[in-house]
Amino acid sequence: MNIGIAVLSPLSAGAVTREEMRTLDAAYPPGSIVNCEAELAGNGKNLLPMTTKIRGHIISRAENLSHADVRVMFIPHGSSTATITLSYRQKVIMEENGQRVYIDPESLKVSMPVSPSSEAIVAKGFRDRLPATQEVQPYQTTEITDFPSYVVRVPGESPLYCHKVE
């Protein structure tokens, strides 16, 4: 699962263009909060079914560049609390065909209430798995539903439902 805010699927009737993405971004000015949620099915072995909740606080937005503080919580089905919470600073650059997303590895922190002694090890594991180059996420992965709410659809992943916190 991508842990970015706006994250390739076949073009659907609601897939956005670059200009529509600019309009969507404008609906989330600095200070805005976006909440996203996805259901992860698990694999029947070592990965439990979970709800993923992502909260992004837009720090700055200018031209084609934005910064956000992001928190990702992984909550096992049947539980009300997260087993792992990631937090990090994210930079998004709008390009011709999509958004280039960069997670600042130095900002990435992990919270694990059940095993606080493992937090540094798990954080290092997440940092080690970050892509060496910034990943481009095509605009077509995003579908505006009830503006400014949207859904991100990446093949092989659960849909990510996002809305603005008013």
Q: How far apart are CA 74 and CA 83, in angstroms?
A: 6
Domain that includes residue 54, residue range: 18-165
Considering its fold, how many domains does the chain have in total?
1
On average, the pLDDT of the chain sits at 87
Q: How far apart are CA 19 and CA 22, in angstroms?
A: 5
Residue 150 lies in a domain: yes
pLDDT at residue 1 above 60?
A: no
Residue pLDDT, tens place only, 16-64: 899 999 999 999 999 999 999 999 988 878 788 999 999 999 999 998 9
Question: Phi and psi for 40 in degrees, rounded to 5?
Answer: -105, 125
Q: How far apart are CA 44 and CA 35, in angstroms?
A: 28
What average pLDDT does this structure show over 84-106? Answer: 93
Residue 113 lies in a domain: yes
Q: Compute and round to an integer the Cα radius of gyration of the chain.
A: 16
Question: Phi and psi for 67 in degrees, rounded to 5?
Answer: -125, 145
pTM of the predicted structure, to 2 decimals: 0.85
Residue 8 lies in a domain: no
Residue 13 lies in a domain: no
